[in-house]
Amino acid sequence: MSPRVSRFAPQPVVLPIGGGKGGIGRSVIAANLALALARLEQRVILVDADLGGSDLHHLLGLANDRPGLGEVLTSRDLTIDQVVAPALEPRLAFVPGDAMVVAAANPSFQKKRKLLHAIGHLDADFVLLDLGAGASLTVMDFFLASPLSLVVMPPEKPALDGTFNFLKNAVFRTLERTLAGNAAGERALAGYQARGRGAGAMTLGELLAGLEAEPADLARQARRSLARLRPKLVLNRVRRVDDFLFARQLRDWVAAELDLGLEVLGFLPEDEVNREAAAQGRPALDLDPRAPFCQAIARLGLALAPWSGRAAQWALHDRFEGDFERAATEFAGLVGQG
């Protein structure tokens, strides 16, 4: 595949992969999903965007000896298409992170914007961004690089809270960027931030209602920006069908308090194959394609592949009734639970 930035080919589907905290499996999912899509004849570029903590190369069995995202962010002349390199499959390429570069973890917004624009024009069908942990401004800006994004959550209460907070920060960052420079909008956001939790917390609906009274059509701008968000939930490390209740709780929670539609795109079962694959420095899909985790990651690839070349249409797609029930039923069939 050509690593060049294309000005004429259809733009790739950019899929940032984020979540509420560290250790939830983002990098494992990114590496294996990229490989699954490549084996479905999609041209894929996998980007290690965990600034300050990049280690995705380990999961691909690659040495950390090539220039990557850190060099692009700290150099005036190097561009991202110059650091795209082949990896594992003819249709899979990789952009390393910045683990060997000092002072790349907190780039300016201007540098991030320029980089993300270039990422959105890479010559590929899919570009997967493996993000860092937490909800820093840099993580949020990478997560919001595309209206389509994957949110990873294990089925446990702390992760449920952390994932909701992650999405709430994504909403806040979206509004912050939309209303920047408008005094009334910035005051409203400051009030929302100050009353963001606990008894009497301001809801997003109350914030938007308050903006209705402001001039400059602020509420319409805010609603239009928020309407672009189309996150997709991947429930990771599922052990039993009851674990899907966490997916339902998150979906209902973000709908009620953030007015955000969250599709349950799929699931990945707990599987020892990942531990063995990490020990060998290989993606699990390359180690044992028949393992339950690998079968589930292949299903995710099959769900994503039809949207190749149709990122704009997918960004408008919000008819996912029955997604929760479908994922739970597929899991029961995969692992033999009734």
Q: In 10 A of CB 217, how many CB atoms?
A: 11
* 278, two tokens: 């990490």
CATH of the domain at 259: 3.40.50.300
Residue 274's domain spans which residues? 13-158+231-335
The pLDDT of residue 3: 46
Rounding to the nearest 10 degrees, give the CA dihedral for residues 6, 10, 13, 16. Answer: 30
The pLDDT of residue 102: 59
Backbone CA torsion sign across 334, 236, 260, 245 = positive
The pLDDT of residue 9: 59
The pLDDT of residue 315: 78
Find residue 87's DSSP bridge partners. Answer: 89
What is the C-alpha separation between 175 and 189, in angstroms, rounded?
Answer: 8
In the chain the first and final C-alpha atoms are separated, in Å, by 44
Q: Considering the domain boundaries, does residue 215 fall inside one?
A: no
User: Is 0.85 topped by the overall pTM?
Assistant: yes
Q: What share of the chain is helix, strand, coil (3-state, %, to 5)?
A: 50, 15, 35
The pLDDT of residue 338: 45
Q: Considering the domain boundaries, does residue 35 fall inside one?
A: yes
User: CA separation (Å) from 70 to 12, 42, 79, 109?
Assistant: 22, 26, 11, 15
Q: Considering the domain boundaries, does residue 62 fall inside one?
A: yes
DSSP state of 5: B
Nearest to 140 by CA among 107, 169, 175: 169
In whole angstroms, how large is the CA radius of gyration of the chain? 20
Q: Considering the domain boundaries, does residue 206 fall inside one?
A: no
Q: Considering the domain boundaries, does residue 203 fall inside one?
A: no
Q: Considering the domain boundaries, does residue 272 fall inside one?
A: yes
Report the domain count for the chain. Answer: 1
Q: Considering the domain boundaries, does residue 184 fall inside one?
A: no
Q: Considering the domain boundaries, does residue 139 fall inside one?
A: yes
Q: What is the pLDDT along the chain (338 residues), one digit of tens a residue?
A: 444 444 445 789 999 999 988 889 999 999 999 999 999 999 999 999 998 788 899 999 888 888 889 889 888 889 999 999 999 899 999 999 876 665 566 778 888 889 999 999 999 999 999 999 889 999 999 999 998 899 999 999 999 999 999 999 999 999 999 999 899 899 989 988 887 666 667 888 888 888 888 877 888 999 999 999 989 999 999 999 999 999 999 999 999 889 898 989 999 999 999 999 999 999 999 999 999 999 999 999 999 999 998 888 887 776 666 787 888 888 888 887 54
